Amino acid sequence: MIQTNYNVTDQQIKFFNENGYLLIEDIITPEEVHIYSDIYNSFLEGGIDTGKNRGDLGAGLGKPGKGEAITQIMWPSDFMPQLLEMSYHKRILTISRELLGEDMAFDFDMLISKAPETNTPTPWHQDASYWINMPDTRAVSCWMALDHATKENGCMWYVPGSHKLPLRPHRFAGKEGGALMCDCSEEEGIAIEIRPGSCIFHHGHTLHYSRGNSTKGNRRAFILNYRPQQMIDLERAQGHDHGRSNASDRKIRNEEIK
């Protein structure tokens, strides 16, 4: 029986509300880390073919070289529906509801991997800049590490409290249609290094970023996103499905983009 009930404390909820992020250690067990790690590698190595849902978030950013600068695979659970029934998705749905309300529902999932020595930062951004405008702005992402995430290989950085401020203007960081960025720097943020199987929640408006991977190891992250079911329905009605039906077409943007 999968344990889905994860008791988030009032103090953790308060911390998330105030800071726009929350670290939860060991959200999956070491045994589960091995299982997810093997699944992740099947995606990365092409054993599970993800077609157009696989792209390079770092295109046009780092030094041009062989291979992807930042591998991004949208909707892994479409290619492996069992993932939806496994512990990570189950537990994070429960916690999302504890953090932001009982109407929170699964919106999409993705894998973001930085291969050894790819040295490509994920630019500073707020996730909401990728989305349509929604009357209800509650949204939470969960970023789970499958490798020890350190500053050197690209752990996440957050700007505490930034989810309470207006969206900053965003622009394309590299090529048109690729990653978005806004003005921000490490001086404003804090880095959170975590071990495999631990995760960090962040609000859809929280400023975040990661350095490039300058190490000889991988930096793999499995990311889940939740928002109110009504807002998911609104997104879908406007054709916004986070790359599910047309992975290469990422043209719908929040209007605050310059």
Ligand X SMILES: O=C(O)CCC(=O)C(=O)O
Q: Which residues bind ligand X (CB under 6 A)?
A: 112, 122, 127, 141, 143, 154, 208, 210, 221, 223
Taking the complex as a whole, how short is the minimal distance between the CB of residue 80 and ligand X, in angstroms? 19
Tokens representing 27 are 């959200």
CB of 68 to ligand X, least distance (A): 13
Nearest CB to ligand X, comparing residues 8 and 110:
110
Phi and psi, residue 31, nearest 5°: -65, -40
Phi and psi torsions of 114, nearest 5° = -110, 110
CB of 247 to ligand X, least distance (A): 17
Q: For ligand X, which is the closer residue by CB, 208 or 242? A: 208
CB-nearer residue toward ligand X: 39 or 223: 223
- 95 or 221: whose CB is closer to ligand X? 221
Q: Please, what is the minimum distance in Å from the beta carbon of residue 114 to ligand X?
A: 7
Q: Which CB sits closer to ligand X, 224 or 231?
A: 224
Q: Shortest approach of ligand X to residue 10 CB, angstroms?
A: 26
